[in-house]
Amino acid sequence: MTTIAIVGAGPGLGVAVARRFGREGHDVALIARDQDRLDALATELSGEGVTARGFAADVRDPKALTTALDAATATLGPIEVLQYSPVPHGEFMRPVLETTPADLSGPIEFSVYGPVTAVRQVLPGMRALRRGTILFVNGGSAAVPHPERAGTSIAFAAESAYGRLLHETLADEGIHVAQLIIPGAIVPGHPRKDPAVLADTLWHLHQDRHGFRHFADDLDS
């Protein structure tokens, strides 16, 4: 079985996705900034029978991100599934009239340069496998820009455009690209936005392989 790389892995959605894909036999590469936190999550998953390893990288550092993905491939094997789902920083969410060009650098690095770096690093391996899935996970401002969250609204729009272009370009190669939009917060116990429910949704996007944009819940929820 091949590997899923979860960029932006944390104790909520990231671990839930790791459990869901691990249950299906995938090895799991957890990528985020804090190696100690990743090691703790990997140990937790390993205790549940999931083969998981942590690889530290900041998505705003292209060299670190490519190094982490290379290490994941070398350690666990080919990456068949890439999930890009880091949680944006709070300072990205400034009102539009207070947002300067400098304020957009971080969101663009985070939601455009990061995904492009990750996709370009894993795509040759997917092409060699002749299959693959790329999953983008975004908040509601990816679909409906919010004037109080200008940075993420602008950067998510660019990330969405990139994802859709990939969806249209790679379909004939057996590589499926999809976006899951999660309006509002991820809420344990919520019928549609509980981490385990969202992980199951992402598994089915990987399996069903149709359409680009999907919604975890209604946009006004």
Is the pLDDT at 221 greater than 70? The verdict is: no
DSSP-assigned beta bridge partners for residue 84: 7, 136
Determine the average pLDDT of the residues in 3-16.
97
Tokens 């909520």 belong to which residue? Answer: 12
Instruction: Give which of 211, 133, 128, 144 is closest to 184, Cα–Cα.
Output: 144
Percent of the chain with pLDDT over 90: 95
Question: Residue 23 maps to which CATH number?
Answer: 3.40.50.720
Total number of domains in the chain: 1
Within a domain: 221 = no
Domain of residue 53, residue span = 3-215
Q: Which residues of 72-85 are buried (b: 16+ CB within 10 A; e: fewer)?
A: bbeebbbbbbbbbb
Within a domain: 83 = yes
Tens digit of pLDDT for each residue in 53-72?
999 999 999 999 999 999 99
- How much is the pTM? 0.96
Residues 6+ apart with CB under 8 A from 18: 4, 6, 9, 28, 30, 41, 45, 50, 52
Residue 88 pLDDT grade (very low, low, confident, very high; cuts 50, 70, 90): confident
